[in-house]
Amino acid sequence: MNLNKAIPFALIINELISNAYKHAFSDQEHGKINIELIMGKNNQYTLTVMDDGKGLPDNFNLHTISSLGLQLVHNLVKQLKGTITWYNDKGAVFEINFEK
């Protein structure tokens, strides 16, 4: 991964982990955060950051959220020319796809 992709990539991971620590586990003593990076076909990366916390609110929308950190994630994904999806699966899951 070149430097132009590595820097926003690292910032995205940092922000998603920080948010999990702040929000996902606010009402529990322990929790897990998993980070997975897969290089698929056609030089496509898939980054998945997931936790086993309380999950995302029902009305969660990354495109309209007022959180400065998650707005940063959204803009960094655009900088990577990638896409981001989010959903709940025994906690919050963020999946980011972008080309090498």
How many Å apart are CA 68 and CA 53, to the nearest integer? 21
How many Å apart are CA 95 and CA 32, to the nearest integer? 17
Banded pLDDT at 35 (limits 50, 70, 90): very high
With pLDDT > 70 as the criterion, what percentage of the chain qualifies? 100
Banded pLDDT at 64 (limits 50, 70, 90): confident
Question: Over the chain, what is the mean pLDDT?
Answer: 91
Domains, in order of start, for the chain? 3-99 (3.30.565.10)
Of 76 and 64, more confident: 76
Q: What is the pLDDT of residues 2-14, one digit of tens each?
A: 899 999 999 999 9
